[in-house]
Each structure stands twice: as structure tokens, then as C-alpha cells.
Amino acid sequence: MTTRINVLFSFLFITIFLNIFSINQARQHKNPSSSSSSSSSSLPSSSSSSPSSFLVLALTKSSVSLPTPNSQIQERIKKPLESSIGAVMEPLREVRDGYLITLNIGTPPQSVQVYMDTGSDLTWVPCGNLSFDCIDCYDFKNNNLKSSSTFSPLHSSSSFRASCASSYCVEIHSSDNAFDPCAIAGCSVGMLLKSTCLRPCPTFAYTYGEGGLVSGILTRDILKTQTREVPRFSFGCVASTYHEPIGIAGFGRGLLSLPSQLGFVQKGFSHCFLPFKFVNNPNISSPLILGDSLLSGNLTNSLQFTPMLNTPMYPNSYYLGLESITIGTNVTATQVPLTLKQFDSQGNGGMLIDSGTTYTHLPDPLYSQILTSLQSTITYPRATETESRTGFDLCYKVPCPNNNLTSLENDATMMFPSITFHFLDNAALILPQGNSFYAMSAPSDGSVVKCLLFRNMEDGDHYGPAGVFGSFQQQNVKVVYDLEKERIGFQVMDCVTEAVSHGLSKVREQQQKSSIF
């Protein structure tokens, strides 16, 4: 999700932070980051370092050199590239805090893995001729979550810096007058009005939730997918960040987003996220499909669709309208505040659906009502020590015979109450069992602790979305973004089976080959 941060704060912090002389765009993406001292088998809590510990004096700036635009390069883009291909399928690799997509950029191609994020537009990659600096990323590095590759513009013969004539430059600096950044860079008013200014696009800044920040150069280069090529893909070449160890592929509805530049902004995309137990498993990937073939009638008949809500504050984000939540077999659903299905006069409200936010966030008093309803129906003993350690508000010690977690998951008598989200247009999504309570560690002494992986929105000023539907609650659910009809569809399914059907499971392939002999 993108929001603007305070202009004065941005100016003071960024100027000291990276010595940037002209910063006219700053956005905030609500993506609660996570840190944990537990083992890789358990999910991390959502606590993070305080935004006050910016370590400003310890910052360094890497030098990135890119060719500047020349008169032969025409960068003015009138409209996104139209796609003549029915669909593009890309694998998503699951890591602790999200799902990674591989981008092949440059000549020759350089492969960089970045987060797939439906809550923002900009695509950026770790970039530098020698190194990529991530400030205050110790928690991420200690959990083996760090950038495994960077993009080097000097090693790409087709890389060049975007100019002020590019519509993408206007988009990245759209928080102010679109002419201002390039006027500072030395372009005349006449050149700006004619979009003929070939001065380099000024450095941009982009901020994310929990104090994350990136700053870099808007760059153009060849992007290659399995089935198509974008000759002048626009992305951020970022050499230094704060609290953002891995690049991001923005999947919002704006001009800069990956679907838009691939030509699918008027069509759509879908994903089927594998469960967290497949984190860092190299043998299977979640399927991501872009294009209009996924929207054919026979494929959408089994989905439940709810309309996208549009807000002028965040026109490129995906919002849903939540009407109620049902716990277990209760006849009476828990009603939600109006702010979760409509916007106020400033554009605040609605429920953001965001793959870049791990856990679903609900506002009070709704969040407290959900906890109370669950407590009244669950009889297991509370695991208060785990609650204190992880920050999750509802954890239980569940019997696990023979310490066999697999048999526990298949035991209907040990299930937790179901949780159903009721969206606008009678679209109901019953969360799979693994999408609400999750085992925080391996079973021991015949029991295992499971916690409810929801969060309190904790937004006292009611700025931005009223709630967020996170990626954890989207596991084993096919989610379809129908951008042409402005609706989002849900269908609960086994995403392992879906991955196998798209040839994304090496384990199943090996099993099939071995069964032949």
C-alpha cells in the first residue's frame, strides 16, 4: 500500500540519509516486517526495530553509474504495452515473509529475485557496481533473508538512465508538480511542456511500513519473461536501503507496476500461494499467472467475486469491502464497522488486499470481538508464555499424539473453529484451517503450540486502510485479480496440486519418474 509521508520529515531524513539533492516523491507501503529468534520451523512475530533507531550517521552511499539519455532514445510512453499473449506463467518461491519472483534484466540477462507485492507499484532491484548496502537489516540477515543477487548496470549493454521525457519519471515524482523535479535538473519550461527534456530523471525516494526506505535511480533496460520481452522496462536501481533487504516487484494498477509494463493492466493476474511449510523449499513454487486466458468462463465459474473498491487516495491499490466475519457454525455473524466497506471524504477506509503484508490486520473493536468469540469456543489451555514472546494475542497448547503434526492436521476432532470472511456481493471465503492457527514450533512432549496469526490494526488516526487482508490468509486460495471488470475472485484449493498442474513441482516429477521403473 502506498501513502505519502510528511514532507518535512522526508526532506530532513533523506537529505542526511543519502545526500540526495532533489527528492520529490516519498511513499509508504504498509508491510509489517517480522523478526524472531525462533527456529526456521516456526513463524516469526511481527515485531521490528523502532523507527527511531535510524542510525543516520552510519549510512553509506554506493556509487551507481548509468549511461544518460541521448537524442536517439525516445522515452515518451503514451500507453502501456499491449499484450498479444494469452498468459504468462511465473513461479513464486516462498520465503519467510512473502513470495519471490525472478526478474531477468539486462543484456546479457541478470537474474534478481524480488518480492511480489500487490500493495505497491514500483519495481526496484538491489543495484550497484560493487555492493548493495542494506542498513539495519541484521534481523533479516540472521534469518537468512537477504538479497542473494544484485543487478549491475555496468554489466548490461542495454541499460540506461530514464530521462525527464519519460512518463515513468513523471509517475515516480507524482507527489508534487510533475515539472518540478526536472526543472530543478535544468530543463526549460518549453522542453517540459513538449516532453523533450533529455535531462536524467532525478533521484527518487520510496518508503515502506515500519520505517523501510529505498532511494535510487529510475532505470530502463530489457526485461525477459518465459514468453515475452519488454525492451525498455522501467525500474528502480537501488544501491542503499534502510530495513529493506530484498527488491520488490510492484503489482498495483499504476503505470510503473509490473503487470502494467507487461501489458496486462487491463486484463489481470492470479496466484495460488503455497502454505508456509514450504518456505525455502527449492523443489516447488507457487504459480503466478498473468493474462486474459485465466479469466475465461470455465475457469471463473467456480470463483466467488467481490468488487474492487476505488479510492482517490490510493487509486492504484486493491481494496475490498468486508461486510462481516463468521466464527465456526454461529448463525449470527460478527458485524464489521462501516469503514471496512466504504471510504470517508478523504479516501480512508476499506480493506486492502496485500501480498506484501504477511498477516491480516483488523481494527478494534472488531479484532477484540473476534478474539472473544474464539475464546468462547476453544477449550485448549492458553499458551500465555508464547503469546508474550511472539506478540500474538491468542495461542493454545494443543495435544499432538506421538508428536506427529501431520496426523494432527488431518484429525477433524482437533480442528479449530472455522473463520469465514463475507465480502460485498455475497462473496464468502472460508479460510483453510492452516490459515488461522499455525504451529509456532515443532511438537514436543505430546503437544504443540498454535497461535492465531491475525493482528490488531492499531491505527489510532484512522489514516489509510481500515484493515489489511494479508498473504498468510491467502494460502491455499486461488486469488484472481480481474482488472477489466474490477473485481477479485477467491477459490479455496490445494495450491500444491495447482503447482503440479503447471509443472512447478520437482518432487512430484521425481516421484513419477521413479514409479516408471
* Proportion of the chain in helix, strand, coil states, percent, rounded to 5: 25, 30, 45
How is residue 485 written as a grid cell? 471488470
Backbone angles phi, psi at 32, to 5 degrees: -55, 115
Of 80, 246, 228, 107, whose CA–CA distance to 168 is shortest? 80
What is the rounded distance in angstroms from the CA atom of residue 421 to the CA atom of residue 250? Answer: 26
Looking at residue 124, its amino acid is W
Q: How many residues does the chain have?
A: 517
Ramachandran region, residue 445 (left: φ > 0; alpha: ψ -120 to 50; beta: rest): left
What is the rounded distance in angstroms from the CA atom of residue 151 to the CA atom of residue 221? Answer: 11
Which of 117, 121, 136, 221 does the annotation list as catalytic?
117
Of 40, 120, 99, whose CA–CA distance to 495 is shortest? 99
User: Is 344 a residue of the active site?
Assistant: no
User: Is 459 a residue of the active site?
Assistant: no
Looking at residue 223, its amino acid is L
DSSP state letters, 227-261:
S-EEEEEEEEEEEEEES--SEEEE-SSSTTSHHHH
3-state secondary structure 65-84: CCCCCCCCCCCCCCCCCCCC
| Residues 6+ positions from 337 with CB-CB distance below 8 Å | 363, 366, 466
What is the rounded distance in angstroms from the CA atom of residue 320 to the CA atom of residue 419? Answer: 17
Burial (CB count <10 Å: 0-12, 13-18, 19+), residue 444: exposed
Which of 97, 121, 221, 354 does the annotation list as catalytic?
354
| Residues 6+ positions from 57 with CB-CB distance below 8 Å | none
Cα end-to-end distance, the chain, whole Å = 51
What is the rounded distance in angstroms from the CA atom of residue 29 to the CA atom of residue 120? Answer: 7
**Which residues participate in catalysis according to the annotation?**
117, 354
